[in-house]
């Protein structure tokens, strides 16, 4: 599954996302053209009102933000996205009550089903949010949310959701997972993953819905290998692959005696400030570590592309193809999951 957030990929109306500046349509076309065996599912991650920063900076009210989110979903469905995550948990005007979030879920859910029906498309749904708190969804909250959503879909003769985002004790900060899943010792204020995880899986199974873990990045091999055995149905990985690409780029610059290009990349990334949301309080991370954490946000920046071209020009003499080198690094990172989840030998 390729799962794009609205920040990463969005429709023409929003000017695309930070990934290649692609619009939803362009992104989907690129995948279709390159997915020769048709193995890839296109999925929307965290769709919903105010999930595109433009909706916040335009100070949209609820109605306008909901309409904007619907247009984004419509573009997803038009482009052939097969799984839509309905996540209206963000609200710049204050924390919405659970009932309000659910009302928004129902409205968006109904819209997507109706629009997909008109377009003769089949879509599956993911609900829930993780908010990276470590234990956001208590058992009671999860059970109640699922109960209400299934009541809604049954009453309206709509397909039930296929996935629910559940906290399993994963939390990404900086370039590591600081949640309870990987921690053999107690994380203050949180329910140990040993308790949390089996309970959440039990609840998901009782509703016959697949559990989706967010923030799986950087978990140890041991923890990943336990995922299928523990009954975790799906897992979302994001920044780790971007960081793998940034590290590979930096290493290549240094190996090829072009540290100057690596330094320029680091500086642009550091200046972007995109690392801020990933830092632990009172972090002692170096500037380089911060820059690597934010590297993937600037891969589409013209300055970076120019740096990359300079590196390519330099490497061409040695028959090194930079993109292919970077792809290989990302593939290695992806294959760790594929292998440990036993998706391939």
> Per CB under 8 A, does 138 bind other proteins?
yes
Q: Name which of 134 and 239 has its Cβ closer to other proteins.
A: 134
Q: Name which of 44 and 227 has its Cβ closer to other proteins.
A: 227
149-157, 196-204, 235-243, 278-286 -> range binding other proteins (CB under 8 A): 196-204
41-49, 179-187, 250-258, 282-290 -> range binding other proteins (CB under 8 A): 179-187
Q: How far is the CB of 221 from other proteins (least distance, A)?
A: 11
Instruction: Please pick, from the candidates 31, 54, 195, 279, the single residue that binds other proteins as defined by CB under 8 A.
Output: 195
CA 25/CA 79 separation, integer angstroms: 5
Instruction: Please pick, from the candidates 94, 120, 188, 344, the single residue that binds other proteins as defined by CB under 8 A.
Output: 188
Instruction: Please pick, from the candidates 139, 148, 256, 264, the single residue that binds other proteins as defined by CB under 8 A.
Output: 139
> Per CB under 8 A, does 320 bind other proteins?
no
CB 113 within 8 A of CB 159: yes
Q: How far is the CB of 189 from other proteins (least distance, A)?
A: 6
Contacts of 16 (CB under 8 A, 6+ apart): 9, 10, 22, 23, 26
Q: How far is the CB of 342 from other proteins (least distance, A)?
A: 15
CA 301/CA 319 separation, integer angstroms: 25
Q: How far is the CB of 146 from other proteins (least distance, A)?
A: 18
Q: What are phi and psi of 10, to 5 degrees?
A: -145, 175
Q: How many residues bind other proteins (CB under 8 A)?
A: 21
> Per CB under 8 A, does 159 bind other proteins?
no
Longest distance between any two alpha carbons in the chain, whole Å: 65
> Per CB under 8 A, does 339 bind other proteins?
no
> For residue 4, what are the β-bridge partners?
44
| One-character DSSP codes across 256-312 | TT-HHHHHHHHHHHHHHTTTGGGPPTT----HHHHHHHHGGGGTTSHHHHHHHHHHH
CA 340/CA 221 separation, integer angstroms: 7
Q: Name which of 172 and 203 has its Cβ closer to other proteins.
A: 203
Among 233, 240, 238, residue whose Cα is nearest residue 341: 233
- Secondary structure (3-state) at 84: strand
Contacts of 200 (CB under 8 A, 6+ apart): 137, 139, 142, 166, 167, 168, 211
Contacts of 244 (CB under 8 A, 6+ apart): 329, 330, 332, 333
26-34, 46-54, 223-231, 256-264 -> range binding other proteins (CB under 8 A): 223-231
> Per CB under 8 A, does 191 bind other proteins?
yes
Contacts of 194 (CB under 8 A, 6+ apart): none
x/- track of binding to other proteins for residues 95-134 (CB under 8 A): ---------------------------------------x
Q: Name which of 36 and 229 has its Cβ closer to other proteins.
A: 229
Q: How far is the CB of 190 from other proteins (least distance, A)?
A: 4
User: Which residues form the interface with other proteins (CB under 8 A)?
Assistant: 134-135, 138-139, 184-186, 188-192, 194-196, 198-199, 222, 226, 229-230
């Amino acid at each position: 599954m390729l799962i794009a957030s609205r920040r990463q990929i969005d429709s023409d109306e929003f000017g695309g996302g930070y990934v290649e500046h692609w619009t939803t349509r362009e992104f989907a076309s690129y995948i279709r053209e390159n997915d020769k065996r048709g193995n890839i599912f296109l999925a929307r991650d965290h769709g919903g009102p105010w999930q595109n920063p433009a909706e916040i900076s335009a100070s949209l009210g609820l109605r306008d933000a909901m309409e904007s989110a619907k247009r984004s979903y419509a573009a997803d469905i038009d482009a052939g996205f097969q799984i839509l995550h309905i996540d209206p948990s963000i609200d710049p005007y204050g924390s919405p009550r659970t009932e309000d979030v659910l009302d928004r879920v129902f409205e968006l859910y109904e819209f997507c089903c109706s629009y997909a029906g008109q377009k003769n498309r089949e879509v599956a749904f993911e609900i829930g949010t993780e908010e990276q708190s470590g234990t956001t969804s208590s058992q009671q909250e999860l059970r109640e949310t699922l109960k209400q959503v299934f009541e809604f879909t049954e009453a309206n003769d709509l397909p039930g959701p296929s996935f629910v985002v559940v906290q399993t004790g994963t939390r990404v900060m900086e370039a590591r997972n600081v949640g309870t899943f990987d921690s053999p010792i107690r994380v203050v204020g949180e329910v140990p993953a040993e308790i949390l995880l089996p309970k959440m899986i039990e609840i998901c199974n009782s509703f016959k819905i697949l559990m989706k873990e967010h923030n799986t990045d950087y978990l140890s091999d041991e923890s990943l290998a336990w995922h299928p055995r523990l009954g975790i149905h799906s897992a979302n990985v994001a920044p780790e692959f971007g960081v793998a690409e940034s590290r590979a780029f930096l290493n290549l610059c240094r190996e090829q005696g072009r540290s100057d290009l690596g330094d320029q990349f680091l500086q642009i990334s550091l200046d972007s400030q995109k690392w801020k949301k990933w830092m632990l309080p009172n972090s002692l991370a170096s500037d380089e570590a911060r820059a690597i954490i934010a590297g993937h946000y600037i891969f589409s920046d013209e300055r970076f592309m120019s740096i990359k071209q300079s590196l390519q020009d330099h490497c061409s003499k040695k028959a090194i193809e930079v993109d292919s080198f970077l792809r290989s690094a990302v593939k290695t990172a992806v294959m760790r999951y594929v292998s440990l989840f036993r998706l391939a030998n």
